Each structure stands twice: as C-alpha cells, then as structure tokens.
A = this chain, B = another copy of it.
C-alpha cells in the first residue's frame, strides 16, 4: 500500500470492458514530505479523491475486481483511502533527523 498524490485522469476509448464507467486516476507515490517516489500507478477510484489530494492505494487485485464487479477484470490498483492528515508533520520529522 502506497501513499500517493492524485495527478490526473485518464480517458481511454479502447479498453477492457470491465473499466467501463470507472474513473482511472494517475497516482504518483510520494514520501512523507510529499516528494515523488518511484513509478506512477494507474488506479480506479470509488472514493471521489480530488486532484492533488493524498490517497492510499493498494495493489490488491481481488478487492479491485470486487469493486468493479467483474471477477475477470485485469484491474489491480485501487484507491482505498483519502488522507486527512499525516502525523507527526513534516517539520517534526525533520527535527528528528537532525
């Protein structure tokens, strides 16, 4: 499960039918301080995450397939939480590092 930031929406006319009607979101994994880390993932979203919001994404395919209601879907990543807050804040962490 990765902390990520929503960075865009994808539109795809030619796609696996199980994605029909689902929002496909580009999620950039980030560190605690918000810096990008690793490869962006494409996830489906059922929580209505806003652009640039921090979310938690999971690669649990079984849960994602249940979400789209198609046990044969190739879906893998799903947004499982919209982050309100990370504690301690970034400043506190930087203090701890010094």
Contacts and interface: CB of A to CB of B under 8 A. Distances in A.
A1 B42 contact: yes
A61 to B, nearest CB: 6
Contact of A82 (B13, B56, B82): B13
A34 to B, nearest CB: 11
Interface residues of A, number: 58
A4 to B, nearest CB: 9
Given A2-B39, A2-B41, A42-B1, A12 B56 contact: yes
A37 B39 contact: yes
B84 A74 contact: no
Nearest to A90: B8
